[in-house]
């Protein structure tokens, strides 16, 4: 992997205000992929391909299917993925993740699309998990606002924080999945399907 270019990709995205994963979060998921021998990943929210490129670069046996609804970001992601010669390992779908469907199964599902829809994404794709697979979600801290709502006075942002809090409750109360929360990056959760006794 060419570290300079991946850093360039990160800096370009940040300079253009594309909301890509924070360094701590990306490091955490990359370690998780390596430690757990993850080979197939479904990502909701491609943006310009930064996280998908990071994941696929770990090993040539890793396949990432990633879904993005924004045409311009999709175009940019396709270009970036080609530049990294990863177009055989990463497939990008231009589609709303609330409409996209696949029969494929994955070792890891990574939710990083619209924060207001996390529960819907979780419910929609949980059947796409392989046995022992996990759903990882980013942005559960939402820049600290989930713990401290006084950090924002914006009504829309407050509503979004409310939705993230609901998602956290949904995960905590979920009978099917066991979730661990990590104060890493912008707040990450790892949800694993419980084994039936």
Give contact residues for ligand SAM (rule: CB under 6 A): 19-21, 45, 47, 50-51, 67-70, 73, 96-98, 112-114, 117
**Contact at 8 Å (CB) between 108 and 134?**
yes
Could you report how far apart the first and last alpha carbons of the chain are, in Å? 43
Residue nearest ligand SAM (C-beta atom): 45
* Residue 98 CB, nearest approach to ligand SAM (Å): 5
Task: Tell me the angle at which helices 118-125 and 155-172 cross, rounded to the nearest 10 degrees.
Answer: 40
- CB of 58 or CB of 178, closer to ligand SAM: 58
- CB of 18 or CB of 178, closer to ligand SAM: 18
Q: How far is CA 3 from CA 8, 53, 108, 114, 162, in A?
A: 8, 11, 24, 29, 38
- CB of 8 or CB of 132, closer to ligand SAM: 8
Report the number of secondary-structure helices (H) and strands (E) in the chain: 6, 7
* Residue 96 CB, nearest approach to ligand SAM (Å): 4
- CB of 76 or CB of 107, closer to ligand SAM: 76
SS3 content of the chain, % helix, strand, coil (to 5): 40, 20, 35
* Residue 186 CB, nearest approach to ligand SAM (Å): 9
* Residue 85 CB, nearest approach to ligand SAM (Å): 18
């Amino acid at each position: 992997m060419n570290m300079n270019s991946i850093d360039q990709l990160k800096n370009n995205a940040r300079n253009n205000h594309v909301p890509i994963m924070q360094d701590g979060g990306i490091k955490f998921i990359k370690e998780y992929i390596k430690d757990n021998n993850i080979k197939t990943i479904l990502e909701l929210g491609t943006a310009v391909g930064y996280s998908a490129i990071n994941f696929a670069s770990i090993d040539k046996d890793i396949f990432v299917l990633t879904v993005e609804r924004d045409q311009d970001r999709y175009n940019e992601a396709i270009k970036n993925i080609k530049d990294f010669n990863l177009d055989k390992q990463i497939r990008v779908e231009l589609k709303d993740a609330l409409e996209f469907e696949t029969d494929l199964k994955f070792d890891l599902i990574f939710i990083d699309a619209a924060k207001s829809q996390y529960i819907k994404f979780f419910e929609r794709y949980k059947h796409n998990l392989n046995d022992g697979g996990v759903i990882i979600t980013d942005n559960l801290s939402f820049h600290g606002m989930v713990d401290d709502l006084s950090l924002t006075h914006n009504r829309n942002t407050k509503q979004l924080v409310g939705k993230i809090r609901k998602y956290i409750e949904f995960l905590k109360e979920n009978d099917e999945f066991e979730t661990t929360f990590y104060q890493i990056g912008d707040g990450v959760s790892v949800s694993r399907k419980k084994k039936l006794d």
